Structure 1
Amino acid sequence: MILVTGGAGFIGSNFVLDWLAQSDEPVVNLDALTYAGNRANLASLDGDARHVFVHGDIGDRALVDGLLATHRPRAIVHFAAESHVDRSIHGPGAFVKTNVEGTFTLLEAARGFWNTLDAAEKAAFRFHHVSTDEVYGSLKPTDPPFAETNAYEPNSPYSASKAASDHLVRAWHHTYGLPVLTTNCSNNYGPYHFPEKLIPLMIVNALAGKPLPVYGDGRQIRDWLYVKDHCSGIRAVLAGGRVGETYNIGGWNEMANIDIVHTVCALLDELRPDPAGAYARLITHVTDRPGHDRRYAIDARKIERELGWRPAETFATGIRKTVQWYLDNAAWVADVQSGAYQDWIGTHYSAR
């Protein structure tokens, strides 16, 4: 049995689905079902006894203690987080509450549970913390990619809150001996991605004939990782990673945002042509967001060297699968585009 937090969100739900597709080891899935958590992501697991869903908050110590005592997981895989930079600029308090205070509560519950285990169980237990490359700050065009040894230089409330959670995880290992693993990933994309992030927003807006908002000149560079590759990287680290270590998981795909948008438009031109013309006509440059990091890139050689992991997808193969998934799952998109989502889009983009 493993306990997954945030397993109804984008990356977490993909991880749960992939885990149960490859293993019969049960999953207890704890998710608060905030705006980005969606039970529909897990609809294929309805009635599956291997999946126990619990609607609750990682900050609820009594709830977490009860789940650990009842299910006695051999590992905790911690995805639960507020994760959108733009939202963190508008409302940083929620990011501190979930990412910092929530991780602290979860670590304390895990430490209490771990101390009840016998020697063999204690040695086998793992607390796997899923984090981001944004904790490392921003790179200049000629800088080498982020390695695990890079100093932390977070530049947004989101990345600062994730950096704080990383530091807590490290401290609970060094101070209390809790057997932890940390992974820092690059930008994920793929199925079930909430359509406020770049790639799904471009897809759903294009299909609706709406403007495709691109921040500034669109030359911000990110490394892009297909979400199912991220899941396989986490499984590799959970299975064989060295306790107390950090592993960067990247896609080896550095691309500028504007090039991503043009790629999405070209795929939609091919797969769902618009009689009104090429989708690229909808690209609209808008005011950049405050403190926008210019470039992220991940050096993923450590995980390859130690654990033999590399991404299976290139960006070309992964983005085609992603666009096709959104075309095939229009009902899912319609369901998540609730009034709250529309309010957010209006608030965030109307002034731009």
Structure 2
Amino acid sequence: MFPSHRPRRLRRTPALRRLVSETTVAPRHLVLPMFVKEGAADPIPITSMPGVVQHTRDTLRKAAVVAVEAGVGGLMLFGVPARRDATGSGALDENGILNVALRELRAELGDSTVLMADLCLDEFTDHGHCGVLDAEGRVDNDATLRSYGEMAVVQAESGAHLVGPSGMMDGQVGVIREALDRAGHSDTGILAYSAKYASAFYGPFREAVESQLTGDRRTYQQDPANFRESMREVELDLSEGADAVMVKPALPYLDVLRAVADRSDVPVFAYQVSGEYAMIEAAVANSWLDRERTILEALTSIRRAGANSVLTYWAVEAARWLAGGAHA
């Protein structure tokens, strides 16, 4: 009466497990989000994200070189300006912190990595919303699109290989594609944040970018309860010319990620957001979890769900573990 099927046979040794492993995570699959703060004299620790900092322009360049040398697939850049206004004009300024940092990274790194830029106004507005507001204080979708088009062109001219519209405005991909093409940047790609949820997991990010947000973003980011809505958003972004699509956050939305991967004919990204990072680091600090195993398991689950690439604040550290085989 012994079992005739014994799946454990293929788990018996590390070599057997390695041979039949279905999902891989490699350094090239990882993208490192980075923050650069205007006027900073030294890197500023982000207290809710241990190990992550707001960089100076100089330390940003050095950290970017380290990431590329570790084999990380790309960098996603966020700017933290010294001044903000109602329209987020600093995002469109070629001498604004984000665009200056893009130019410096492109000069330093050339095409040795994929340089990505967050295309959103929230870091640059004094109200913290992702768009300009109308007379009633609501986010004006179409007025915001005009700013996004201008912002995309400035980012392309500053050296971004991919622009990442994350504001969840209706029609944003189409407007950005038209603006880039009209300005002669037809080779600049669009990484669309297609399924971005109004999530509680963004909390530590607010500190990272010194967000001025009052209220919430539920009128434009997606309801965490909705699934079909994500499929519609992805289809619209693909029809407007997205070169890649994103699901954000990652771990709480693996079902959405799997469905997007099954439907998309372009690469699919997932963002392992600040709250995901913070809760694992907090559990590790309390000796509740093994840090390396937990991080790699989380990344593997995101890849298994269908992500071609994962934005993660652990990108450099994980890349070193993966390259060194320490996870085996």
TM-score bucket of the superposed structures, by smaller chain: 0.3 to 0.5
State TM-score, norm by structure 2.
Answer: 0.34
State TM-score, norm by structure 1.
Answer: 0.33
- Give 1 or 2: higher helix fraction: 1
